Amino acid sequence: MNILLMGNPNVGKSVIFSRLTGVKVVASNYPGTTVGYTHGYMKLGDETVEITDVPGTYTLEPTSEAEEVAARMLENGDLVINVIDATNLERNLYLTQQLLERNIPMIVALNMWDDTAHRGIHIDLEKLRALLQVPVIPTVAVTAQGIKELVENIPNATSPESPIRSSDERWAVVGHITEQAQHITHRHHTWRERLGDASVRPLTGGIIALAVIAAAFTVIRFIGESLIGYALDPLFENLWAPVMLRLSDLLGGDGFFHDVLVGQLINGEINFVESLGLLTTGLYVPFAMVLPYIISFYLVLGLLEDFGYLPRLAVLMDTVMHRLGLHGYAIIPSMLGLGCNVPAILATRILESKRERFIAATLISIAIPCAALQAMIIGLVGQHGVQYVAIVFGTLFVVWVILGLILNRFTKGLSPELLIEIPPYRIPPWRTVLQKLWMRTYGFLREAVPIILGAVLVINILYTVGVFDAIANFTAPVITGLLGLPKEAVTAIVVGFLRKDVALGLLAPLSLSASQLVIGSVVLAMFFPCIATFVVILRELGVKSMLKASGIMIVAALLVGGLLNLILQ
């Protein structure tokens, strides 16, 4: 049996899903789309049933890719648990009416039941059950209240006969049900409601957004850098490096297989960034460079999601982001790219259309430097004066805006309007946050690590057979003529494909002028992203869109670098 959890966005479906299935769940993309969903299993008596957390939808008449997937998934369901926000009964019952018209066995979970008392909402459960003719179970998913009763009533799910109605007829039925079963009394606003109102006003919302983004960025960097500095780097340097040196000795310290597995030794030592070995760089990149930021990013994202802030930030930024062909939700991956581009690209999954995901991922890859690269820019370029650092970041911001306007103009497709339900602020339970963190982190490792290892292997082989040297010689006229950089800077740009902060550090011994450092920093930031980001772009956008984004990166980097060369030199 396949039980579908269906309901509007932000009604607590995922929390109920985690209560029903525990931690053994699988995250997938619906075939042919990037719309994600999760499914797991639950014991129901002597039977093991499958539970699917369907993407949130307001209607079975799709207006977005996520709603189209939800409607398709309904065709393969045996029973529906319709999760309803008890504090917004009228809005949620429209989908309920459409589900009843499908004549599929259904049970209603009236979630956020505790909030109804706080809001002065009184629902007559017996009257609602009689009007819907299906079991209605009040639940509070965050505390597990009502979950046991919900499971016990699954066998009692019914499929009452319901005629096919028009949209206006459905709303008339919904109005009749709420009038009969719901009564609202006056009450004073709580501090969370006042904070929620302030979060979407332009002035106070802007101040709150800056504070939240700054705090999120700080926490992500703190957790990520702490994991790297105190756990993963010591683990690789003290435990894994001696193993690799021993393997290097066994392989004779040289040769094709040595270079593929261990990579090049730097001054007789393992350099996990530059060695390019499958067992050195191939493992270090995903586990020590990217995983710490993935963990910290998903932890912060889960807290902001479950607290209810993200929809408010999206509404606040919607007008600005629309000019770049995106909607307000795109500000979230854009800001998180300042920590690490990898989770930022992954976060573009929250955008509804392929067009939006392509524009957002391209802009992040080109114009939003990660935290490590920012630190190197400030440290290296800042030695010549803060004005040069300002030129670098100012140029990248201008590129972000102008390129966004261009992509919005020439990229085919539509950016759907931002139609979201804004949930009340609530304190998320740690169990749910940590479970979501585990699911997302495991999903990243399962999807990205094999591809990163494969990419490192291919790069290593190309490097070993001398392809990169040929590329350096071929591109030298462009580097020196167009960008005004010495030929040796080609090496830094190539290394930037592995790690950009290390690549920028390779410019330091070249005795570049302040203007050349500005040009080199901007070109490195805009050129191909690091291998981990590149792999995630390939995974998220597909080969065709990845190649298109790569072409835009190359052209934009060369044009902006050449223009800076003309202006500054």
What pLDDT digit, counting tens, does each position of 276-327 carry? 788 887 888 778 877 887 788 778 878 887 888 877 887 777 767 777 777 7
Q: What angle do CA 24, 25, 29 make, to 5 degrees?
A: 160
CA 367 to chain centre: 18
pLDDT confidence of 451, banded at 50, 70, 90? low
- Sheet (strand 106-111) strand order: 25-29, 36-44, 47-53, 2-7, 79-85, 106-111, 136-138
Structure tokens at 419: 């139609």
Q: Which residue has the higher pLDDT, 476 or 14?
A: 14
pLDDT attached to residue 30: 54
Residue 502 confidence class, pLDDT cut points 50, 70, 90: low
Pairing verdict, β 2-7 and 47-53: parallel
Q: What angle do CA 10, 57, 47 make, to 5 degrees?
A: 85
- Produce one character per residue of 132-141: b if its CB has 16 or more CB atoms within 10 Å, e if not: bebbbbbbbb
381 touches 388 (CB < 8 A):
yes
For residue 186, what are the contacts with CB-CB under 8 A and spacing of at least 6?
120
Q: DSSP label at 348?
A: G
Residues 520-549, mean pLDDT to the nearest whole number: 84
Q: What is the pLDDT of residue 320?
A: 72
CATH number of 2-184: 3.40.50.300
| Mean pLDDT, rounded, for 462-479 | 74
Overall size of the chain counted in residues? 569
How much is the pLDDT for 138?
A: 93
Q: Does residue 459 carry a pLDDT above 90?
A: no
pLDDT at 497: 72
Q: How far is CA 288 from the centre of its chain?
A: 19
% the chain with pLDDT above 70: 89
**Beta-strand pair 25-29/36-44:** antiparallel
The percent of residues above 90 in pLDDT, for the chain, comes to 21
Residue 158 pairs in a beta bridge with 106
Mean pLDDT value across residues 248-267: 83
The Cα–Cα gap between 162 and 98 comes to 9
Cα dihedral: 553, 559, 560, 564 (round 10): 150
Q: Residue 69's pLDDT is what?
A: 86
Does position 195 have pLDDT exceeding 60, yes or no? yes
Give the pLDDT of residue 418: 55
Strands 106-111 and 25-29: unpaired
Residue ranges per domain, the chain?
Answer: 2-184, 204-435+448-568
The pLDDT, as a whole number, for residue 128 is 94
